[in-house]
Amino acid sequence: MDKVIFFDIDGTLLDTTHFAKTARTEAIKAMIENGLPVEADEGYEILMEIVNEKGSNYEKHFDLLTKKICGKENPLLVAFGTITYHNIKFSLLQPFSKTLPVLIYLKNKGYRLGVISNGRTHKQWEKLVRLNIHGFFEEVITSQEVDSEKPNKKIFEEALRRMDCEAKNSIMIGNKIDMDIIGAINSKIQPILVNSGLNDADKKEILEKFDIEIIDDIGELIDIL
């Protein structure tokens, strides 16, 4: 049976380390320049409280921000914040340097590729399309579609079903232990942890607890696979 490899997106295929903070900071500045009555640091702090409360996939962060600061929603300021955020975010969005070579290598070796990602479907597809790597993947399974987020087994089981493969013939590659790795292990899928940012001591602890591969760069997949 064909071997299937599932990828997470953010922090696994794409370098998203700093873009969200930069985009939010610039969005606050744009809103202040157009009349939002708050200091930049305080505005960012309030915005992050909203993001932490509602989740990063909530679509009305800036609406709530203006309501908290101004007493009511301000559509004009929301527009300035939203447009600036998306312009900055997508200008900074980029794949890791080895992402494309790895995807080409895996395709040439006959692996079938899919995505399992927490997030809104159109947003996750937009990232892949903007970077022109969408064509590598047969299926993109999102938590919005399945109504279940990693590490819940439901989203992994749906991915296996849609790719018509068995867990024993599949691999999950992601950068989050609590989401990607635990979810894969609970679903009997072989996990590979990448771009985790763990120090050597933490890696040793993880390896003692779980039988998994840990790599620091996605390019190492070429040697492993």
- In angstroms and rounded to an integer, the radius of gyration of the C-alpha atoms of the chain is 19
Please give the helix or strand (H or E) that residue 204 lies within, else none.
Answer: helix 200-209
CATH number at residue 63: 1.10.150.520
Find the mean pLDDT for residues 66-73. Answer: 97
13 DSSP assignment: T
123 shares a domain with 176: yes
133 shares a domain with 61: no
Model confidence pLDDT, tens digit, residues 76-90: 999 999 999 999 988
122 shares a domain with 40: no
- Least confidently predicted of 53-57, 161-165, 168-172: 53-57
Q: What is the pLDDT of residue 207?
A: 80
Tally of domains in the chain: 2
172 band by pLDDT with thresholds 50, 70 and 90? very high
Q: Which of 74, 92, 110 is the last residue of a domain?
A: 92
112 shares a domain with 32: no
Model confidence pLDDT, tens digit, residues 47-62: 999 999 998 878 899 9
| 183 contact partners, CB below 8 Å, separation of at least 6 | 150, 151, 152, 153, 155, 156, 172
Q: Which domain holds residue 42?
A: 19-92
Q: Is the dihedral of CA 175, 178, 181, 184 positive or negative?
A: negative
pTM: 0.85
- Least confidently predicted of 138-142, 173-177, 196-200: 196-200
Sheet strand arrangement including 112-117? 139-142, 112-117, 4-7, 170-174, 190-194, 213-215
215 shares a domain with 107: yes
| 104 contact partners, CB below 8 Å, separation of at least 6 | none
Q: What is the pLDDT of residue 1?
A: 54
173 band by pLDDT with thresholds 50, 70 and 90? very high
User: Tokens 């409280």 correspond to what residue?
Assistant: 49
Q: Which of 92, 113, 133 is the last residue of a domain?
A: 92
153 shares a domain with 45: no
